[in-house]
Amino acid sequence: MSVVLAIARLLHLLLVAVLAGLLVGVALVELALLEVGPSVYTAVQKPKHQVFAPIMPVLNTLVIAAGLLVLLLMTRAPRTLAPGALAFTAAGLACTIALTVTTVLVNVPINAEIISSWSVEHPPADWAQVRDRWNLFHAVRTVLALLAVGCLLVAMLPAPHGRTGTAGGRARGGA
């Protein structure tokens, strides 16, 4: 495996791990917030979303771009890879794309609504339903991020007994 590919794979894994870590951290905060009322919930959510709003699109873009780069580099050197490495890397990338789609279609519009129209003094009557919907889709994207990390870790496992794969995933003897 080339040094460039090895560095790209490590960078991709690091970026996905950072994303997963952020999502797990937010999930833990959200669990704690299940115990608070609507005004406290809103008071926490507004600044939280304002902090994450500029960061998350950049991180998600970097994760996907790094994943695409890794896949491109992997397809140029299939015989140097462990069997299944390409498939697990593609699965990890698919998970990050799916979590990004979920984020853009569900979580970001809710975040925008909270930032722009919710009031700490007078939260909307359906605040708990909005919170629960956001939390459900956040759980989905958190699981997807953790699955992506797992896929990338499996993809990085060395080939057993010096065996490497071909583009079709069959093992070949290596030296």
Distance CA 16, CA 156 (A): 14
Q: Give the amino acid at 4.
A: V
Q: Are 175 and 92 in contact (CB under 8 A)?
A: no
Q: In the prediction, which pLDDT does 167 show?
A: 45
Q: In the prediction, which pLDDT does 51 show?
A: 92
- CB-count exposure of residue 94 (10 Å: 0-12, 13-18, 19+): middle
SS3 for 138-154 is HHHHHHHHHHHHHHHHH
Distance CA 150, CA 72 (A): 20
CA distances to 22, 80, 132, 160, 174 from 97, in Å:
16, 26, 23, 30, 34
SS3 for 59-121 is HHHHHHHHHHHHHHHHHCCHHHCCCCHHHHHHHHHHHHHHHHHHHHHHHHHHHHHHHHHCCCC
**Tally of helices (H runs) and strands (E runs) in the chain:** 5, 2
Q: In the prediction, which pLDDT does 72 show?
A: 95
Average pLDDT, 10 consecutive residues per value, the chain (175 residues): 90 98 97 95 93 95 98 87 92 98 96 92 94 97 98 89 52 42
Residues contacting 61, CB < 8 A, separation 6+: none
For residue 38, the Cα-to-chain-centroid distance in whole angstroms is 29
